[in-house]
Each structure stands twice: as C-alpha cells, then as structure tokens.
C-alpha cells in the first residue's frame, strides 16, 4: 500500500459515510474469504447453511419465523427447507401448542454438518487472529458486540 493510498483511506474513514464504505468492503471480503474455507464435503449453499445455523442456535422455528430471521421471502425459505429436509438435515413436526403450525427442527446430520463447517472456518480465522498483536485482538473483541448490534437492527 502506498503512502497516498494510506492517506486516502485515513481521510475517507474520518466521515461516517467513509467508515461505512471501508467497513462494508472489509466485512464483505472477510465473508467471501470465510466462505472459501467451508468443509470440502459440504455442498450446501450458504443460505442453507445459514438456516441450519439459525436452527442450531435458536432451536425449532416455524417456516415464517425462519424466513423473517433470515430476511427472505417465505417461498424462498420453503424451497430451502424442502431441500434440507430431502437431504435429512431438518425435519418437520407439528407444534405441540398449535396443530396448525409446523416446526422445523435440525437433525443430528444437520448438527454434524454445522459443527464441521464452523470448526473448519473457526480454525482458519483463529490462525489469522494468532498473527495479530494483543492490542489488535483486543480491538476486535471489543468490536464483536457492536457488529452484532448493527447486524440485528
């Protein structure tokens, strides 16, 4: 990186709009890089993996709740869940409290798939974090709740 590029970036990030642009680029690049570190045996789409991860974290959910959580339209979620169900990653069951509702639950295969995928990506990222200084890691630790808050707004 040249001095002029460093100065442009420094000036760019002094405004909220500039910070937003730089942060967007960095987050997107990291996301793409993490996507390439997926388990080699995993041929599920990133969207399907996001659904499995949501079910792993949050437990059983209705199709509508999953669609809302992942910010997709219900027909898209139906297609994703149908594929996951066909592969044995999720199962449907009637709600105990409202028989009109169907709950989507992750299966053991789904949990194993999510765990393997997370393990591989976490290992890659942990290795990269190990190359940072203690101060840099502290900054990232402090930033995690901020990123979570922004992502969940």
109 lies in the same domain as 61: yes
- Residues 81, 54, 153: CA angle, nearest 5 degrees: 120
Query: What is the model's pLDDT at position 60?
Result: 96
26 lies in the same domain as 89: no
52 lies in the same domain as 112: yes
Residue 147 C-alpha from the chain's centroid = 12
25 lies in the same domain as 62: no
pLDDT digits (tens, 9 = 90+) for 41-87: 888 999 999 999 999 999 999 999 999 999 999 999 999 999 999 99
13 lies in the same domain as 72: no
pLDDT digits (tens, 9 = 90+) for 27-37: 999 999 998 88
78 lies in the same domain as 54: yes
Domain total of the chain? 2
**Total-model pTM:** 0.77
Whether 2 has a pLDDT exceeding 60, the answer reads no
First to last CA, the chain: 34
Q: Supply φ then ψ for residue 91, to 5 degrees.
A: -135, 150
Whether 1 has a pLDDT exceeding 60, the answer reads no
**What's the mean per-residue pLDDT of the chain?**
90
CB 90 within 8 A of CB 55: yes
51 lies in the same domain as 126: yes
What CATH number did the domain enclosing 65 receive? Answer: 1.10.10.10
Sequence-ordered list of residues with C-beta below 8 angstroms from that of 77, at least 6 positions apart, any chain: 51, 63, 66, 67, 70
Whether 151 has a pLDDT exceeding 60, the answer reads yes
125 lies in the same domain as 145: yes
104 lies in the same domain as 64: yes
Whether 8 has a pLDDT exceeding 80, the answer reads no
Query: What is the model's pLDDT at position 10?
Result: 53
pLDDT digits (tens, 9 = 90+) for 89-117: 999 999 888 888 999 999 999 999 999 99
Q: Domain range for residue 7?
A: 1-36
27 lies in the same domain as 63: no
Confidence category of residue 38, pLDDT binned at 50, 70, 90 = confident
120 lies in the same domain as 136: yes
Sequence-ordered list of residues with C-beta below 8 angstroms from that of 107, at least 6 positions apart, any chain: 88, 89, 90, 91
Which residue in this structure is represented by tokens 């970036």? 9
Q: Which of 107, 96, 95 is nearest to 65 (CA)?
A: 95
């Amino acid at each position: 990186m040249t001095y002029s590029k460093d100065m442009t970036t420094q000036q760019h990030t002094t405004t909220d709009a500039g910070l937003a642009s730089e942060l967007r680029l960095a987050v997107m690049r990291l996301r793409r890089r993490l996507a390439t570190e997926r388990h080699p045996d995993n041929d599920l789409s990133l969207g399907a993996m996001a659904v499995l991860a949501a079910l792993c974290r949050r437990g059983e959910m209705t199709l509508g709740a999953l669609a809302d959580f992942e910010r997709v339209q219900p027909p898209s979620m139906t297609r994703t869940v149908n594929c996951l169900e066909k592969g044995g990653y999720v199962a449907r069951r009637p709600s105990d409290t409202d028989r009109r509702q169907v709950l989507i639950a992750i299966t053991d295969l789904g949990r194993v798939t999510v765990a393997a995928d997370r393990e591989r990506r976490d290992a890659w990222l942990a290795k990269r974090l190990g190359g940072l200084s203690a101060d840099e890691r502290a900054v990232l630790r402090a930033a995690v709740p901020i990123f979570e808050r922004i992502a969940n707004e």
